Amino acid sequence: MVIKKMADVYINGRLEGCCDNPKEWVEFIREQRRIGNLPKEVNVAYDEDQNIVFINTEKGRARRPLIVVKNGKSLFTTELYEQLKKGEIDFNDLVKQGVIEYLDAEEEENTLIALDESQLTPKHTHLELSPAIIFGSKASMVPFPEHNLSVRVMIGAKTMKQGIGVYASNYLLRMDTDANILHYPQRPIVNTYIYDVMDYDSHPVGQNMVIAVMSWHGYNMEDAIIFNKSSVERGLFRSTYFRPYFTEELRYPGGQLDSIEIPSKEVKGYRTEKVYRHLEEDGIIYPEAVVNSGDVLVGKTSPPRFLTSLEEFKMGVEERRETSVSVRFKEKGIVDSVLLTDSDAGNKLVGVRIRDQRIPEIGDKFSSRHGQKGVIGMLVPQRDLPFTASGVVPDVIFSPHSIPSRMTVGQLLEIIGGKVGALSGKFVDASPFSSESERELRDTLIELGFKDDGTEIMYDGKTGRQYKARIFIGNSFYLKLKHMVANKIHSRSRGPIQLLTRQPTEGRSKEGGLRLGEMENHCFVAHGASLLLKERFDSDKTKIPVCKKCGNVAIYNKFRKKGMCLICGENTEIGFVEMSYAFKLLLDELKSLCIYPKLNLKDKM
């Protein structure tokens, strides 16, 4: 006789007991849950291999809804469907009735889930609400996703997060850093069901554009796109960039205070009179002031950092430091609003928001919803752009080379769908797995008097000649992404250097240099461009006086034209050595490590 081993029962990961007939018992628990005797949050699973029953009731489990199937028949009947349609019941009622239940990852292991009703067999335990549920809220926004490579759908979902739109309707009251607002957002012509579910109309992104797939004088190679300059002038994809600046009147130990005011000329670090010109009597800028980089938004002075004995005896007022807030390097705009409030510590807090209109320019990044992102390669006036027989000029010209390797067929369908939608004045459904079929779209195109493949005969805008090939043209939804050249463009020929190393500063906001890194340096060496390499690194070169006797860095007095060594005294010979300041610093640092580096000077051969 075989003794059947009892199954261990774990509740929330802790062994609580055993049960005799795990399979039946688990089924019993599920039944009780569906009836409503047990909370809906309970999930139970039986692991046959380990002979363990897991019951989970804790928070933090990702659960998803599924329709319960009994004897190969979905519990969600047509009657329920009609009731739901009429609004007599809602989703939560279905959950209460046990028609729909939420499963966690562990209970899912015990199920056999059908994708749609036609696949149902008596073995199935659950039915998917819709096959489209495999997509998340963002991936569902991609039109015709089932025609795309999965990677492209993911990239598309990712780029949609970077799209500029109206992120919140109260944006005028908010002080968000790096906020962008699109001026004329539109509802996509080709759309998915989730758009309405998420009420995207209240915070839209992007615009519908006429798009032609062709190359144009090489300005749209390698993922670049051509923009119609005239469309841009008519307001296409204009956006506003907001940046808030804050400053606080701080209190310091000893009862000293910051003060928000127009700094007087006695203040240490006083800038030029010009940068303070917009400040009003209270030391704060007025709204609608046109400001440029470096202009002071809020004038502020702070007490001196250290109290030295010398200053105590100083006559007159104490010396204060200038700590005004000014517009960032290379940024400009108009003062949008000024906010006066208290900080957490109860100090006076001033916020100034600057607004700047951003008109699409060469280098701005755009994307369709299929992960086909690219930057503007050229803005072309309408007169030079190709046009169709009916006189339609594209807003965007998109390179055909972006299609074969990425296989975003969904985008081509979107363009055809967009064309149908634009011509017939309706929205086209492109929801995953339930979209309007390609055939339908093509047939409508023929009905409307166009070729069913979306191509049209087009003419060169410059010469007026007909193109030999027919051009694929239609409407597509495009997004302006938040990466704009205006925030990123940077160059430097000379500029500020660091105090410690005398090397150029780093970063755009500090007008920094572009680093010639280790690998670039190897490249110079590999080419044998030795003198060029030296010149590239000359940014911190110095002439250092060195004592010929002891090899230490010496001191040179320019007025007396005499050098002296700290060790050997004045009675020594000094040689000048050209080296990078960073090396001199290294020598000093070595000395601080108790290593005594000496320079043995020799004449250059």
Partner 1 sequence: MSEDLIIPKIIINEINKKYSSSEAKKILKELNESYEKAKITPGEAIGVIAAQSLGEPGTQMTLNTKHFAGVAEMSVTQGLPRLIEIFDAKKEPSTPTMTIFLKEPYRDDEEAVKKIAAKILEIKFEDIMESITVNLLDFRIEAQISMESLENYALTLEDVEKTLKNIFSEEDVKVLKKGLVKITPKKEIEVIDLYKLKTKLKDIHIRGIKGITQVLPIKKTRGWIIQTAGTNLKKILLMEEVDPTKTISNNIFEVASVLGIEAARNAIIREIILTLKDQGLNVNLRHIMLIADTMTLEGMIRGVTRYGVSKKQESVLARASFEVPLKHLYNAATRKEKDELKGVIENIMINQTVPVGTGIVKLVVNEAENNKKTIKDKKKKGE
For partner 1, the closer of residues 446 and 525 by Cβ is 525
DSSP codes of every residue in 164-209? -B-S-TTGGG---TTEEEESS----SEE-THHHHTTGGGS-B-EEE
Half-sphere CA count of 95, side-chain side, radius 13 A:
12
Say how far apart CA 135 and CA 110 lie, in whole Å.
22
Name the nearest CA neighbour of 205 among 241, 189, 181, 229: 181
For partner 1, the closer of residues 105 and 523 by Cβ is 523
For partner 1, the closer of residues 444 and 580 by Cβ is 580
Say how far apart CA 350 and CA 424 lie, in whole Å.
53
Which secondary-structure segment (H or E) carries 335? strand 333-342
As measured in angstroms, the least distance from the Cβ of 506 to partner 1 is 19
CB 349 within 8 A of CB 426: no
As measured in angstroms, the least distance from the Cβ of 601 to partner 1 is 12
As measured in angstroms, the least distance from the Cβ of 530 to partner 1 is 3
DSSP codes of every residue in 217-255? TTTT-TT-EEEEHHHHHTTTT-EEEEEEEEEE--EETTT
Residue with tokens 């690194």: 537
Give, as ranges, the residues between 488 and 547 that touch partner 1 (CB under 8 A). Answer: 521-523, 525-531, 533-534, 537-538, 540-541
Say how far apart CA 470 and CA 459 lie, in whole Å.
10
CB 323 within 8 A of CB 302: yes
Name the nearest CA neighbour of 193 among 411, 418, 431, 427: 431
For partner 1, the closer of residues 305 and 494 by Cβ is 494
For partner 1, the closer of residues 389 and 590 by Cβ is 590
CB 507 within 8 A of CB 519: no
Active-site pick, 8, 93, 223, 429: 223
Residue positions counted in the chain: 605
For partner 1, the closer of residues 308 and 530 by Cβ is 530
Say how far apart CA 207 and CA 478 lie, in whole Å.
5
Name the nearest CA neighbour of 94 among 57, 134, 129: 129
**What does the DSSP 8-state code read for residue 486?**
G
As measured in angstroms, the least distance from the Cβ of 12 to partner 1 is 38
As measured in angstroms, the least distance from the Cβ of 584 to partner 1 is 9
Give, as ranges, the residues between 567 and 596 that touch partner 1 (CB under 8 A). Answer: 578-580, 582-583, 586, 590, 593-596
DSSP codes of every residue in 143-169? SSGGGS-HHHHHHHHHHHHTB-B-S-T
Say how far apart CA 275 and CA 288 lie, in whole Å.
16
For partner 1, the closer of residues 453 and 588 by Cβ is 588
As measured in angstroms, the least distance from the Cβ of 522 to partner 1 is 5
Identity at 419, one-letter amino acid code: K
As measured in angstroms, the least distance from the Cβ of 11 to partner 1 is 38
Which secondary-structure segment (H or E) carries 422? helix 409-424
Phi, psi dihedral angles at 589 (to 5 degrees): -70, -35
As measured in angstroms, the least distance from the Cβ of 605 to partner 1 is 6
For partner 1, the closer of residues 391 and 528 by Cβ is 528
Give, as ranges, the residues between 47 and 106 that touch partner 1 (CB under 8 A). Answer: none
Whether 8 sits among the annotated catalytic residues: the reply is no
For partner 1, the closer of residues 85 and 604 by Cβ is 604
The residue count for binding partner 1 (CB under 8 A) is 29
As measured in angstroms, the least distance from the Cβ of 532 to partner 1 is 8
Name the nearest CA neighbour of 68 among 101, 91, 110, 35: 101
Burial of 201 (0-12, 13-18, 19+ CB in 10 A): exposed
Which are the catalytic amino acids? 223
Task: Please report, as ranges, the residues that interact with partner 1 according to CB under 8 A.
Answer: 521-523, 525-531, 533-534, 537-538, 540-541, 578-580, 582-583, 586, 590, 593-596, 600, 605
